[in-house]
Structure 1
């Protein structure tokens, strides 16, 4: 099984993004990134507050997803904005929870999966099916899904500064 990770960052007024595909052991299978994008002063004026959304979703994320050669079952992101780029992209965050918390859904497009002492919250563009929830449960039981984000963040910083 392969899991995709997609992330974007704004570093020194430049936007950069990458996709990392790993196998069930966390071993990289594919890595693609964008060159840093620096918006012009005119683009900043014309796009205003929508500049971040436009660059991260339309320019960076959608192009990365389109150019991935290996197609994982899903892509996880640490940037909730990227959920808008595809139905296959799921935002995931981790937070500490008391042992009394049970599996819960708050909204149809959200699901929370409790682990030992923490919970993982997933947010999707569309509603979660029971099959998708079961798949997520299986993945989080077998694999530390948060760790590759650390690698992806370091890779993006490296790309932006090299």
Structure 2
């Protein structure tokens, strides 16, 4: 199973969701947070760290704890979220050149994907075993498509919470 975790700020509300899919992209589990609107006092007390705190500590970590089906890999669309677990990877489509590939650190990789590449990074070193599994996933499925579904679901949740 593969996890997709996203935290969004929509109309001054922070909302997060995690979608667990099988290797065919079929949903197994979906959890989300109720939209969070920080108070003026929280904005003052947390300052610039508020968004990072809400994204990682309040939303992302709580979503990982809530899920019943533990995925082998969780993809996120915000690199800040890679710090929440060693099996969390930031993935983004790129048209990377071979020069950029040569400059990768041990916590990132670039894998051919469609007409371009997908750049994957982690807060930890990507082992050969993890790299091989990531390559396999990229070859078998469109690893970025579930983010589109997740984003639409989070937008729907935010709009539904106001009605």
**TM-score relative to the length of structure 1:** 0.94
Deviation at 1:96, TM superposition (A): 2.1
2:124 aligned residue (126, 130, 139): 126
* Structure with greater proportional helix content: 2
Equivalents in 2 of 1:82, 1:30: separation in Å? Answer: 20
Query: What does the per-residue CA deviation read over 1:72-107, in whole Å, with 9 as the maximum and x for residues that have no partner?
Result: 101001111111211111000001246x67965601
* Residue number in structure 2 paired with 1:43: 42
The equivalent residue for 1:90 is: 89
**Structure 2 counterpart SS, 1:59:** helix
SS at 1:128's partner residue? Answer: coil
The one of 138, 141, 152 equivalent to 1:140 is 138
Q: Which runs of 5+ in 2 are unaligned?
A: none
Matched residue SS, 2:138: helix
CA distance in 2, matches of 1:78, 1:124: 12
Flag the 1:104–1:141 CA change in 2: closer, same or farther, 3 A. farther
Distance 2:101 2:28 in 1: 32
Work out whether residues 76 and 92 of structure 1, in 8 Å CA contact, stay in contact via their aligned partners in 2.
yes
Which moves more between the two structures, 7-16 or 108-117? Answer: 108-117
SS at match of 1:45: helix
* Unmatched tracts of structure 1, length 5 or more: none
Give me the whole-angstrom Cα distance separating, in 2, the residues matched to 1:142 and 1:104.
Answer: 25
TM-score, L = length of structure 2: 0.93
Shift of 1:9: 0.2
Q: Distance in 2 between matches of 1:14 and 1:72?
A: 27
Q: Is the 8 A contact 1:9 1:15 kept in 2?
A: yes
Alpha-carbon distance in structure 2 between the residues aligned to 1:160 and 1:132: 35
**How many pairs were matched up?**
160
